[in-house]
Structure 1
Amino acid sequence: MHLIRKSFVFARHAESEMNAIGKIGGSTDSNLSDVGRQQAKDASSLLDRPWSQVCTSTLKRTIQTAELAAPGQSLKHFSELCERDWGVLEQTPIPDSLDYFQTPSQGETWDDFYERVIKGINLIISDYNCPLIIAHSGVYRAINHCLYGSPQGPRIGNISPILIAPILGTQEWDVSPLEGHEL
């Protein structure tokens, strides 16, 4: 699979209640924590601008982030952007590392998750020019896997928007903080 070669901005949701207690949120539908609500409000200085579309997963933590970080914007929710279902690992302490290719009991396989996410992003970017996508750290790992061949790497920070843009004349992508970029 590959991403359609169009730019978009990606941000992981602000801190959720599950993040705050150090547990795997996955498909668990948790709200933002008090810290997360403030993070999202603070991010509005960068994200409160006219977007072609603001897209979120169907989980509350992404919707709440979008409502606070891009107030007044029309939102569209996509189940394809939901975090991976971690099965029996849901709501357990976050380990220092996870094997993304191993399927937890009653959970979603990496291949199914990856395919769902990339198809969803391609659906969005085929319809909108440089949309804002607010989703989950696993979604970012799927993007990373698509662009660089591996989901491994540092965890993306809460509500740290990044511009993902094809580099003209190459097959490469620029993945960099949104701040400082003109859209």
Structure 2
Amino acid sequence: MKLVLASKNPGKLREMREILQGLGIEVISETEAGVDVEVEETGSTFAENACLKAGAVAKASDLPAIADDSGLCVDALNGAPGVYSARYGGEGLDDVGRYRLLLENMRGMLDRRCRFVSAICCCFPNGDRVEAEGECRGTLAYAPKGEDGFGYDPIFFVPGLKKTFAQLTPEEKNAISHRGVALRNFKVELENYLNGTDQ
């Protein structure tokens, strides 16, 4: 079975391929599917945005499409940046600029609790949908550490492992990450859907 990933993020593509390969699912990029879709993320939740993206790519490709919308929610900032994680600080910032801005906005704050949230949505050309969510709790580091990962990974510290996401191996990260949890939940939901047990 082929799923088109409704994202141009190579990090997400790599993680989805690694986690879903055990289910016999081939995740292909928009480029491989011959589509190039820009979707405005107007949803107020991660789940709404994931379904907007997956629905648009499924329609354009006539193939089942999977999308993840994820972000970092910081307790001391009332859940910000949340659904605006990828656009935090405006269009001019890259990943490094965004996490530096977040660290600046957290300067002097002792409550560093935060969580990564991921919502997965798979849309089929017939209109059916399979959805799942996952989260991972951690704390905000005071400075970036690690070379791997993407997005806010260098400042997301996992107390139990004493490392940031960017210091973890892909296997370590997939075992505990919000996207890893969401994709494992998604595998169960998708198996139920394919077996017809949710009909």
Give TM-score, length-normalised by structure 2: 0.27
Higher strand content, 1 or 2: 2
Task: Give the number of the structure whose residues are more often helix, by fraction.
Answer: 2
Larger Rg: 1 or 2? 2
TM-score in terms of structure 1 length? 0.28
Determine which structure has greater relative contact order: mean sequence separation of CA pairs < 8 Å that are 6+ residues apart, divided by chain length. 1
